[in-house]
Structure 1
Amino acid sequence: MQTMRRKILGAMAALPMLGLLPGVASAQDKIILGEINSYTRLPAFTEPYKKGWELAVEQINAAGGVNGKMLEVISRDDTGDPATAIRIAEEMISKDGAVLLFGTFLSNIGLAVSDFAKQKEVLFIASEPLTDALVWSKGNKYTYRLRPSTHMQAAMLAEQAAKLGKKKWATVAPNYAYGKDAVKAFKSELTKLQPDVEFVAEQWPPVFKIDAGSTVRALESAKPDAIYNVTFGGDLAKFVREGSLRYLFEDRAVVSLLSGEPEYLDPLGKEAPEGWIVTGYPAAQIDTPEHKAFAEAYQAKWGEMPKTGSIVGYNSVLSIKAALEKAGSTDTDALLAAMEGLEVPTSPTGPFMFRAADHQSTMGAYVGKTTVADGTPAMTDWAYADGAKYLPSEEEAAKLRPAE
């Protein structure tokens, strides 16, 4: 009995030492982040996005972590389903110990997780969803958005569209929140700049289910001077192919949201259109020190050039790091206070901040034209558009949000 008692006491005494052994970290040594995205539904964007945030986490932890603690991301696939996203979010907060949530791609899922964050009183940084409702009509205390919104990017394009002097416009956009917001914003911004503009046709194909033939025929029959396009992914490829076959784009200007992003432009190959005005990401051409360092590290780790998703994933974690450092805590109230006016001084796209009034970041986008060089699609004549320039004032934006 004496021998057994000594063995038990010895074992109990050794337990606290486990946390000191190499390779064994206690929960107190980590900051757990919950990440949700549509990995199987939208791999073209979400796979580079994941590579981006994984690189940022690796670099931050290699430099000592945040406030002396290592970052750990628990990542799950929402399969493109809002109900699944909510279930995952609940598990991350209640079981996995996540101190905040980030991610999502589709606008309906971003809105669903935003509502969950409000109900459960947890910080949610929406990395990608573009709908304006996320920070305006359905904005809440607990949700912040990183990417330049639908309104911001549409305003960037409207600025360029007004310079064309085209009077009759047609639009084509997927029939859900993002597409509707994109058309509404473009119409509003272009009309301010060019009051005599006319919108002569609208096409609203279901997302990822475009009937390109009928869409192109309807647009052609309206005889517009120019087209504003919001389709992306497989819908964009079908639209470009059918439109080219039917000469829809010949002698007709096209302004196209997101179409310069490598995720959507590269798959078009030699079929990529020439001279479309787009928002996108000319990764190989950006030579700022911050971007070059990011691109070189990304290539070294993944063996490929970064894409738009890569930047979004990377900047998401940089934003979280800045918030945690400013808060000095993982407490939600401290994090919320830190997010108001949070500055991210160094990133591949340059410094940006999160506005207190509407929780939108001022991260910008690249605006230029599509081209094909040596059989490879690319952007040309591009410039970086600072997101802050394309937002309403904070006073105006605050009026667009529901009362807390």
Structure 2
Amino acid sequence: MSTHVKEGFMDRRTVLKSFALAALMAGSQMGTASAADTIKIGEINSYTSLPAFTLPYRSGWQLALDEINAAGGINGKKLEVISRDDGGKPGDAVTAANELVSRENVSVLFGTFFSHIGLAVSDFANQRKIVFVAAEPLTDALTMEKGNRYTFRLRPGTYMQAAMLVDQAAKLPAKTWATVAPNYEYGQVAVKVFKELMSAKRPDIKWVDEQWPAMGKIDGGATVQALARAEPEAIFNVTFGADLTKFIREGNTRGLFKNRSVVSLLTGEPEYLDPLGDETPSGWIVSGYPWEQIKTPEHEAFLKAYKAKFNDYPRLGSVVGYNTMKAVAEMIRKAGSVDTDKLIAAGEGLKIDSPLGPITFRAEDHQSTMGGYIGKTAMKDGKGMMVDWHYANGADYLPALAEVAKARPKN
């Protein structure tokens, strides 16, 4: 009796083990099948630190991702994006990148906003030998002296954007200039490049003052007072976000901008222009994104799809996110693989269609030819807008290849 019970018990245990093993194998096979049908991509950005830009940016890449997967994915495989918030800290961005690569097994990284964070993730990509498509960081170091074969950049860099503005700024009669910029990588490089390009075109001008407020901590009153004391005929501004709002408010109150020209990076972007409302200064020469006035077929299609999905209008971040996701997907499609070397080969010379027109990634520095809109600020119905704008094709403002070869590391 006892022997029968024992044998019966052993039989039941064997059966249970068999079911457990079968379930495990089935689960493993399901996981393998799922992994085989999916390409994982890692994404990192400063969502909590700069939501005005990064949340529309996220909506942009989500729209592109939905379109790509709805059309069958890439080479028959769906794309899956695993996203992380870096909190505006380079160390956290690198930690997130490491987790995405080591734990999530992503094949490509993309994203980042701030220049110092983009550089940190680019360095990580170089060390870990994984492709990184930088969406927004504008520092020229990303594609020049700190460039590497694993890093590509979508948005026009500081040199390109400054050069676009200089074309217009050099026409101003002003001969004395001052600058104001956040005291970190992007602001420092923007001022350096703008001064160099302006001085080359206008050797008659004189630089009379520089103001370097801490990013996110500008003392608007003190900054405006210092600029006023220098009595420049024109100002080059690089502040953005909340700092820009404070700077303009104090400048309007104290009459800084009266009878004085201002050239301003980024100010025409809806992310920063819209919050100004009736405080928007008129006549500033700015870079931006006049989304409601662009009537090209490719932009109207993007606008329609974006509004249908989010019941909102796009910001420039939306276009950047959309284009970055499209670039990553096309790179994988062209490579026919997620092998790093094949992805790099596919990325060099990669061409994509975008809401702003065709874009190409130059092989020599991995910089795209995405351009920007240059115009002037104006007020309409109590709201700021861009007028007299034109699209500056990024291909016309790329750094010279000789300068790229001289600056870029040989790797």
TM-score normalised by the chain length of structure 1: 0.95
Which residue pairs with 1:356 in the alignment? 363
Does the CA contact (< 8 Å) of 1:357 and 1:395 recur in 2?
Answer: no
Does the CA contact (< 8 Å) of 1:80 and 1:106 recur in 2?
Answer: yes
The partner residue of 1:213 within 221, 239, 246 is 221
Does the CA contact (< 8 Å) of 2:110 and 2:135 recur in 1?
Answer: yes
Does the CA contact (< 8 Å) of 2:147 and 2:408 recur in 1?
Answer: yes
Taking a change above 3 Å as real, the CA distance of residues 303 and 8 of structure 1, as seen in their structure-2 partners, is: same
> What do residues 125-148 of structure 1 show as CA deviations (whole Å, max 9, x unaligned)?
110111111111111111111111
3-state DSSP class of the match of 2:81? strand
The partner residue of 2:80 within 72, 81, 94 is 72
The partner residue of 2:180 within 142, 167, 172 is 172
> Does 1:261 pair with 2:243?
no
CA distance in 1, matches of 2:306, 2:29: 33
Which residue pairs with 1:384 in the alignment? 391
The partner residue of 1:368 within 375, 379, 392 is 375
TM-score normalised by the chain length of structure 2: 0.94
Larger gyration radius, structure 1 or structure 2: 2
> Does 1:163 pair with 2:176?
no
Cα distance, 1:395 vs structure 2: 3.1
> Does 1:337 pair with 2:345?
yes
The partner residue of 1:109 within 85, 92, 117 is 117
3-state DSSP class of the match of 1:26? helix
- Give the alignment of 1:163-312 within 5 angstroms: 163-312=171-320
Cα distance, 1:12 vs structure 2: 6.2
CA distance in 2, matches of 1:19, 1:12: 10
Cα distance, 1:5 vs structure 2: 6.4
CA distance in 1, matches of 2:351, 2:207: 39
Cα distance, 1:394 vs structure 2: 2.3
CA distance in 2, matches of 1:24, 1:295: 38
3-state DSSP class of the match of 1:227? strand
Which residue pairs with 2:54 in the alignment? 46
User: Which amino acid counterpart does residue 236 of structure 2 have in structure 1?
Assistant: Y
CA distance in 1, matches of 2:25, 2:383: 59
> Does 1:129 pair with 2:105?
no
Which residue pairs with 2:400 in the alignment? 393
Cα distance, 1:119 vs structure 2: 0.7
Does the CA contact (< 8 Å) of 2:159 and 2:399 recur in 1?
Answer: no
Structure 1: which 5+ residue stretches go unaligned?
none
> What do residues 71-105 of structure 1 show as CA deviations (whole Å, max 9, x unaligned)?
00000110011111111100100110100110011
> What do residues 259-292 of structure 1 show as CA deviations (whole Å, max 9, x unaligned)?
0000000000110111111000011111111111
> Does 1:61 pair with 2:69?
yes
Cα distance, 1:18 vs structure 2: 6.9
Percent identity of equivalent pairs? 60
Matched residue pairs, number?
Answer: 402
Cα distance, 1:9 vs structure 2: 6.0
> What do residues 295-341 of structure 1 show as CA deviations (whole Å, max 9, x unaligned)?
11111111110001000100001100110111100011110111111
CA distance in 2, matches of 1:157, 1:58: 35
Which residue pairs with 2:6 in the alignment? none
Taking a change above 3 Å as real, the CA distance of residues 51 and 198 of structure 1, as seen in their structure-2 partners, is: same
The partner residue of 1:95 within 80, 83, 103 is 103
3-state DSSP class of the match of 1:273? coil
> What do residues 13-61 of structure 1 show as CA deviations (whole Å, max 9, x unaligned)?
787777999x996111101000000111111100000000001001100
3-state DSSP class of the match of 1:319? helix
> What do residues 163-203 of structure 1 show as CA deviations (whole Å, max 9, x unaligned)?
11321111101111100110111111112221211111111
CA distance in 2, matches of 1:183, 1:320: 31
CA distance in 1, matches of 2:327, 2:244: 31
Does the CA contact (< 8 Å) of 2:160 and 2:399 recur in 1?
Answer: no
CA distance in 2, matches of 1:24, 1:251: 67
